[in-house]
Chain A
Amino acid sequence: MTAENRSMKRYSVFALAREALNWHMGWEKAWVSPAPKKAYDAIIVGAGGHGLATAYYLGKNHGITNVAVIEKGWLGGGNTGRNTTIIRSNYLQDPSAAIYEKARSLYETLSQELNYNVMFSPRGLLMLGQTHHEVRGYLRTVHANTLQGVQTEWISPQKVKELVPIINIDGPRYPILGALYQARGGTARHDAVAWGYARACSAMGMDIIQNCEVKGVTSENGHVTGIETTKGYIGAKKVGFVVAGHSGQLAEMAGFRLPIEAVALQAMVSEPIKPCMDVVVMANTVHGYMSQSDKGEMVIGGGTDGFNNYTQRGSWHHIEETLRALIETFPMISRLKMLRQWGGIVDMTGDRSPLISKTPLGNCFINCGWGTGGFKAIPGSGWAMAELMAKGEPGPLAAEFDMWRFKEGRFIDESVAAGVAH
């Protein structure tokens, strides 16, 4: 069965001029929303960044286009729309550095590739060293990154002050002793990443089916045969669960248990102000991180709750803790009003690294467990998951991230390497 080819008009300055003369009435829908077919070669559950990227690379790298992406809510409405949009790849462990750097490098040209402006802004990212232990840890990361081919460097407090004039480097509790600096780290427009991938998937003939919740997983002789949904039964030769938060529920439907717990992580933005900080700053000792959006809002990441939670709102006291930390680091924000606060449900694994894995059910694959830092990984994650689903075996990027590593003690221990802000 081959999928129809839905060619899309190219976005360009000429298209913009043409449409300007036409009262902008000629723009076509970025993606079509068809009713599900009876069966597909592959079904991806979850139309967030990771799911759509998986579908995109299934088509682009492996020629599999008879694909449906099923979404319980609306496209990109989960953690893809709830994160702080930070992109970096300065990880300590080799498997993490490889997949996050793959993702970061794909982000560099993603707008051109998708013909959709994802507003990737490699503005530079600093992780502050505020204790001697932290400095030692980050120096180790810099050396590891050098070996891994990830461009990072250790910079002095004076250089930090040059890059971030609003920072207080002589804090009374935790003076800034330097920073791990990734010059090509930065941010991107989170919604646009999902929308761009969705548009490209739709153009390849894939079906993106929103408001369609998975209710069950069917199998025969240990192999998946399809899914029961609120829009009826859909058959599939292969199924990939690419979800956050509810990965455990899906795994239960498929008859296995994941080494994952779901907790709420929250973030907030301030009222918009004039440009004052053109890099991303992460202060892991006091626990807060901040960047400035193109609209001028200060985008602030908070902490996770310590207990299982599916409510997409975090505990109130984390707001105070996060702002207290950031006011200490950036005294000028003390009078800023916070505009919005929200939460998302993140999947936490025992080693704080993701699962990109085969499962006990044949032809059923899972990509989850990105914890508090999945946005940055979207292109690399999709690339690795598509390879796993197409070939049935993981490629080099996904090889270490299987779900059996906990039984075998092969942890990818980034909870130690990356500190709390992932």
Chain B
Amino acid sequence: MLTLECPYCGVMAEETELSPGGEAHLKRFGPGSSDEEFEAYMFARKNPKGVHFERWRHAYGCGKWFLAARCTATLEVFGTYPAQVSAPPQDLQDKIKAKRPDWKGFK
């Protein structure tokens, strides 16, 4: 079972305790944006086979939203971090790069 550490309350939370929230670090487009921008934001989400950054909510715990770096090909969890950032922390990116030298980096 997928287990993620909640960065707020420190609990190692099992998947049944969490709610998945899709791609992290999305730039949102709304009224006034072009059709292409809105489509890319709303439907053409990142779907990598490998390193992926996601939103999760500790739904049956502290209730907070947080972010996780995970490998979609192996289910390996690289780490979790608070949601109040616009990019993954540099030390986490370095850690992923060390484990996955082929990773092209966060874009």
CB-nearest residue of chain B to A308: B72
Contacts of B47 in A (CB 8 A): 248, 258, 260-262, 308
- Chain B residues, Cβ within 8 Å of A406: 39, 42-44
Q: Is A310 a contact partner of B42 (Cβ separation < 8 A)?
A: no
A91 to B78, CA, bound (A): 42
Tell me whether chain A's interface is mostly helix, strand or loop, or mixed.
mixed
Q: A123 an interface residue at 8 Å Cβ cutoff? A: no
Are A350 and B42 in touch, CB under 8 angstroms? yes
A259, A262, A306, A317: the one contacting B39 at CB < 8 Å is A259
Complex Cα distance, B29 from A129, in Å, reads: 38
Which among B19, B36, B42, B75 has the highest number of chain A CB atoms within 10 Å? B75
Contact call B44/A259, Cβ cutoff below 8 A: yes
B16:A407 contact, CB within 8 angstroms? no
Residues of B within 8 A of A310 (CB): 49, 72-73
How many B residues face the partner with a CB closer than 8 A? 25
Chain A residues closer than 8 Å to B40, beta-carbon distance: 257
* With A307-B20, A311-B74, A407-B35: A257-B52 Cβ-Cβ less than 8 Å: no
The reply on B15 being an interface residue by CB < 8 A is yes
Q: Are A306 and B19 in contact (CB under 8 A)?
A: yes
A308 touches B39 (CB 8 A): no
Q: With an 8 A cutoff between CB atoms, is A246 at the interface? A: yes
Indicate whether A14 reaches chain B with its CB closer than 8 angstroms. Answer: no
Chain B 47-59 interface 0/1 with A at a Cβ cutoff of 8 Å (1 = within): 1110010100000
26 A-B pairs, CB-CB below 8 angstroms?
Answer: A248-B48, A257-B44, A258-B47, A259-B43, A259-B45, A261-B47, A262-B47, A262-B72, A305-B20, A306-B20, A307-B20, A307-B54, A308-B47, A308-B48, A310-B49, A310-B72, A310-B73, A311-B72, A311-B73, A311-B75, A315-B2, A316-B1, A317-B15, A406-B42, A406-B44, A407-B35
Q: Which residues of A contact B (CB under 8 A)?
A: 246, 248-249, 257-262, 305-311, 315-317, 349-350, 406-408
